[in-house]
Amino acid sequence: MSIANSNIDQRDWSALTTGERIRMIEVEGYLVLPDLISPDELANLKAQTATWPTDHVDYSEKQRVRKAVQFEGGSVTHLIGQSKTLDFLRVLFGDEVLMTHYDYARSEPGHPGISLHTDGQPYGSEIFGFEGSCPHLVRVLYYPDDLTLDVSPFRVLPRSHLSMHAQANPYLRYEDHPGVVTVPVTAGSAVLINHKVFHGNQPNGRVNCWRSAIVLRGRARSSRCNRGLKTKLPNCRIKSSRSSLTAIRGTGTSKAVTNP
């Protein structure tokens, strides 16, 4: 995984109109809502989450998670009702907003990065259950600290959710792609993504700093999961192989991570 200067999105997100914000998440697949959380609220969030025990994920002990944090109380629970985020989602969906999951994630020094993947999986999966089968779902990633280029910044492959090519199969993962964009943000901001876009994060190259995220998933009331599927959930465990990834976005050869 590498960060090219030409692929860093450093636009002034505060200058976007509501229409431009909707276009970003519908067409490009991602959006930043800047400066949502006050310094005092940030301090409370960091103090609360610092006390939590976490579990490591299967691919790295340096990636830690704590699931279902909506009932923890305090600033974390209060963040569910963040007014600017909810106002935007109501306009985007044109419907009542329902929260489906609420988790905490932390990338510690030595974290290897997260491969490019999509959370939108029409038949569900062992990792995400049936949530990925929702027609439309938005992940909201709140960042309590500055998301700098050397501490696991967010990365995304713009417009990859629009591709109809076989290599845009939502059950595939990719280590990298030349069209990937890295998105640095300031503390208190949120990255919103279309759940069908390919995304991940970069490695944590700092020896004394971690990157944390409080992650909410929301959908419109009308955008229901397909719980009527009578099939075994697909296995998303991964292994490395090589594949030419030319049709998702641009051209070039990427290292693919596929189903076993």
Q: Which pLDDT tens digit goes with each residue over 168-200?
A: 999 999 999 999 999 999 999 999 999 999 999
pLDDT band at residue 52, thresholds of 50, 70 and 90?
A: very high
- Give the residue with greater pLDDT, 229 vs 213: 213
Residue 99, H or E segment: strand 97-107
Query: Exposure string (b/e) for 26-65, b if CB count within 10 Å is 16 or more?
Result: eebbbbbbeebbeeebbebbeebbeeeebeeeeebebbbe
> For all residues of the chain together, what is the average pLDDT?
85
Q: How far apart are CA 116 and CA 11, in angstroms?
A: 22
The CATH code of domain 15-167+180-232 reads 2.60.120.620
In the predicted structure, residue 159 carries a pLDDT above the cut 80: yes
Query: Which residues have C-beta within 8 Å of that of residue 105, sequence separation ≥ 6?
Result: 63, 64, 65, 212, 213, 215
The answer to whether the CB of 55 falls within 8 A of the CB of 65 is yes
In the predicted structure, residue 230 carries a pLDDT above the cut 90: no
141 DSSP assignment = E
pLDDT in tens, 56-75: 998 889 999 999 999 999 99
In the predicted structure, residue 242 carries a pLDDT above the cut 60: no
Helix (H, G, I), strand (E, B) or coil at 178: coil
- Give the residue with greater pLDDT, 232 vs 188: 188
- Give the residue with greater pLDDT, 77 vs 244: 77
- Note the pLDDT of residue 210: 87
What residue ranges do the domains of the chain occupy?
A: 15-167+180-232
Mean pLDDT of 211-230: 81
